[in-house]
Amino acid sequence: MTLLAQYFVTGIVTGCFLILATIGFSLTRRVEGFLNIAHAELLGVSAFVTWGLNVKAAWPFLPSAIFAIIFTAVVGLVVGRLFYDPIRKLGPAVLLISSVGVAYVIGGSVDALVGTGIRTLNIPLATTYRFFGVRITDYQMIVVALAALTGLSLAVFMSKTKIGLAIGAMADNPELAASRGIDILQTSRATWLLSSGLAGLAGVVLALIATLSTDLAFHQILQILAVAILAGLGSLYSVMLAGLIVGIAMDMSVFWIPAGYRPLIAFAVVILVLLVRPEGLSGRKSK
């Protein structure tokens, strides 16, 4: 029973990481209207910038992390302006295929600069705490706290600020938003900055809880897709719920089936959701 509870808790941590990784992806999907495969590569960019500053340049962790997040946000904006804006009229399928090319470019650049091998950040070792026999490390608690904090502040941002409301309006109906005097171009740029910044945050978290290798980023995209598809085109809250479901399902599955099949759970979620309920948890149909 304790073992099952342990898997459940680990699942929550995984779920919280997935939430952080997917919020940005889901935002792009709603506002720009396509699945950005290259989103996961931005996690890699952020994780390796953090590593470069923290280990190679011997900066303390926090400034390196903040710099990495800002840097990733700018990279995301530039990529969006340079690669996606000119082809937006060609439709979501072409944008999706192009994003594979973008993923190649970003992933290849990270590979060329960093090289293969396994790396860790220069931070203190994790301290483990026990609650009723269930172990959790301080870094894992930070992940959960960050996910909760990000979710909350994003919810406030989207419902209270002018830019947040504009992004929401554009996600729902771009033509109507434009006719109501919302600056589409500016809103789109704000979205790229925001979603890439969130990818940056997720990348920092990844650097915190995982060992870094250059193929790390690619492995995240499948889980991000699973969460995004399960969440559907809905609000922030469906992404958070979907992230927790996928995370807990993946980690608890290890209790019954061999651990090698853990990633399979994410794909099974994609297939099942698309076959049974293509609109996802939120129930909104795509346009």
Partner 1 sequence: MNIEQLLLAVLTYGCLYSVMTVSLNLQYARGGMINFGTVAYFAAGAYAYAIFTQEPPSGLDQYAFGFNSPWWVGFIAAGVAAFLFAIVTGWPTLRLRGEYLALTTFAFAEVLHSIFLNERRIGNGSVGLSNVNRPDFSWIGMSDNYGFAGAAILLLMFTAFLCHRILASPYGRAIDAVRDDETAAEAVGKDIKRLRFEIFVISAVPVGFAGALYAMITTLVSPGLFTAEVTFFVWIALILGGEHTIKGAIFGTLALILFEEVVRSFNFETVRSAEIAASVEHIMTGIIFIMILRWQPFDRFTKKEAVQ
Whole-number minimum distance, CB 130 to partner 1, in Å? 32
Pick the closer one to partner 1 by CB: 35 or 204.
35
Shortest distance, CB of residue 60 to partner 1, whole angstroms? 29
Q: Among residues 141 and 264, whose Cβ is nearest to partner 1?
A: 264
CA–CA separation, 45 and 214 (whole Å): 10
Q: Which is nearer to partner 1, 57 or 112 (CB)?
A: 112
Question: Is the four-CA dihedral 222, 192, 15, 274 of positive or negative sign?
Answer: negative
Taking the complex as a whole, how short is the minimal distance between the CB of residue 101 and partner 1, in angstroms? 4
Comparison of 135 and 277: residue with beta carbon closer to partner 1: 277
Residue 43 CB, nearest approach to partner 1 (Å): 17
Both tokens of residue 220? 């995240």
Convert 51-87 to b/e letters by CB count within 10 Å (16 or more is b). bbbbbeeebebeebbebbbbbbbebbbebbeebbeee
Based on CB atoms, which residue is closest to partner 1, 154 or 216? Answer: 216
Complex with partner 1: residue 68 or 103, whichever CB lies closer: 103
Q: Tell me the two tokens of residue 53.
A: 């500053």
Q: What share of the chain is helix, strand, coil (3-state, %, to 5)?
A: 75, 5, 20
Interface residue list for partner 1 (CB under 8 A): 34-35, 83, 86-87, 90, 92-94, 96-98, 100-105, 107-109, 111-112, 115-116, 222, 225, 229, 258, 260-261, 263-264, 267-268, 270-271, 274-275, 278
Kindly give, in sequence order, each residue whose CB lies less than 8 Å from that of residue 1, ignoring residues fewer than 6 positions away.
Answer: none
> In whole angstroms, how close is the CB of 154 to partner 1 at the nearest point?
25
Element housing 252 (H / E): helix 236-253
Estimate the crossing angle of helix 184-209 against helix 2-32, to 10 degrees: 160
Determine the Cα–Cα distance for residues 147 and 149; give it in Å rounded to an integer: 5
> C-beta of 44: minimal distance to partner 1 in Å?
13
